[in-house]
Amino acid sequence: MSRVNTGQQQKRFLSIHEYLSMELLQKQGIKTPRGGVAKTGAEAYAVAKKLGTEDMVIKAQVLAGGRGKGTFDSGLKGGVRTIFSPREAQMFAEKMLGHKLVTKQTGAGGKICNSVYICERQYVRREYYFAVLMDRKSQGPVMVASSQGGVDIESVAAENPEAILQLPIDIEKGVDRTAVRDLAERMGFTPKCVDQATNTMVKLYDLFIEKDATMVEINPMAESADHEVICMDAKINFDDNAEFRQHEVYSLRDVTQEDPRE
């Protein structure tokens, strides 16, 4: 691929909410921040209390980019907010749940927020970008990575293309761990984290294959102060043609987030 494009190649695909993507990562043995989903203000209070920390983030579960800069029809600005107590979790949840969030990707009508994801806030040393997606040119999977995580990767690709690293995968031979380790080193992971980053990226590729995904995107993948590799956010899309094989995944579909015209 000459340019990074995380827009989907298939005509139709399934997207699932962030909290569900994080659950799939956890089942794969991949480290993520501790968190939980809530569908009422009372549930949000309970989730925050169970986390047992005064430093948390609450995220509106809406299938659209730009949540952090979006605005709810309740007047609340920002679909991603820092919170410091169970009471704040409940307050923000009640201003998000049942309301439409308008972002740069939703159009003027916005999308309804039926759940919120509350997780511990992490203070990390470095943030990276990592994805596995289908390369339109080779019709095979490719790992795409960058030392510049936590930002819009397509902007990075346009402004600083040499910051984008790519590793095509031969789907018949599978992952070459040596090549993935080299990728982790080139991304800039510290020596203490290279092996852990390699294992995480291989597990993400395995998830991509096992679940018939068209994209597994982690932005950011982070290195914590105590040298742990953590997937801070996850976006996973799945091939609609594989629905007959992936009943469990397709049971996670949220039709309230879909445009009936598509």
pLDDT at residue 212, rounded to an integer: 86
pLDDT at residue 12, rounded to an integer: 60
Number of other CB atoms surrounding residue 32 within 10 Å: 19
Q: Rounded to whole angstroms, what are the CA distances from 215 to 10, 19, 92, 121, 141?
A: 10, 16, 31, 25, 9
pLDDT at residue 187, rounded to an integer: 98
Sheet-wide strand order for 71-72? 71-72, 100-102, 111-112
pLDDT at residue 10, rounded to an integer: 39
**Residue 213 forms beta bridges with which residues?**
238
pLDDT at residue 5, rounded to an integer: 54
Low-confidence ranges of the chain (pLDDT < 50): 1-3, 7-11, 244, 254, 260-262
Catalytic residues: 129, 217
pTM value is 0.86
Encode pLDDT of 122-136 as tens digits: 999 999 999 999 988
pLDDT at residue 9, rounded to an integer: 43
pLDDT at residue 239, rounded to an integer: 74
pLDDT at residue 192, rounded to an integer: 96
Encode pLDDT of 210-254 as tens digits: 988 899 999 999 999 999 999 999 998 887 665 545 556 555 554
pLDDT at residue 157, rounded to an integer: 83
Structural domains in the chain, sorted by start: 34-120 (3.30.1490.20), 123-248 (3.30.470.20)
pLDDT at residue 125, rounded to an integer: 94
Q: Spell out a b/e string for 92-130, using b for 16 or more CB atoms within 10 Å of the CB, else e.
A: bbbbbbebbbbbeebeeebbbbbbbbbbeebebebbbbb
pLDDT at residue 150, rounded to an integer: 83
Beta strands in the chain (DSSP E): 13-15, 35-38, 56-60, 71-72, 80-83, 100-102, 111-112, 116-120, 124-135, 140-146, 164-168, 213-224, 229-231, 235-239
